[in-house]
Amino acid sequence: MDKELALELNSQITKEIYSSNLYLAMSAYFAAKNFNGFAHWLRLQSQEELAHGLKIFDYMILRGSQPIVAQINEPPRTWDSALDAFEMVYSHEQLVTDSINNLLELAISKRDRATENMLRWFVDEQVEEEATASELLERLRLINDNPQGLFMMDRELKFRQ
């Protein structure tokens, strides 16, 4: 595997694990406020992001390149509101999308078709991630910290599988 591409894939692993930690921190924040539906949704999101990092990790091993587990920055611990937290979720997903798109462009420029194929899965996944985050954010904007709306949304988010 091209060294520059391997370096960037390692960077993406770090970003995915940071995403996992960010969503786990958000889950803890909501659990402490007894919003167990939000906590549940974010905990599952955390697990999904870790799986994304491991997908790249395993791919690198399969290609004979050593993944590097780098230091992960500590995520925030508190937010001003559910709306504030999900504004961060949405903007974070946009950053991840940009990063994946840049990686895909690099794989194309290096003519690494296998990595290009692997990354196309992530491109599709990010469309879904951004759409879901955007939907939840728009609903929270409509609710505008109305307690009844937050409780209804919390109850609904408990059922994510």
Write down the pLDDT at residue 161. 84
pTM of the model: 0.95
Going by the DSSP 8-state scheme, the letter that residue 74 receives in this structure is P
What domains sit in the chain, N to C, each tagged with a CATH number? 3-157 (1.20.1260.10)
Neighbours of 29 (CB within 10 A): 19
Residuewise pLDDT in 10s, the chain (161 residues): 999 999 999 999 999 999 999 999 999 999 999 999 999 999 999 999 999 999 999 999 999 999 998 999 999 999 999 999 999 999 999 999 999 999 999 999 999 999 999 999 999 999 999 999 999 999 999 999 899 999 999 999 999 88
Write down the pLDDT at residue 118. 98
- Which residues, 6+ apart, have CB-to-CB distance to 158 below 8 Å? 36, 37, 40, 41
Write down the pLDDT at residue 160. 87
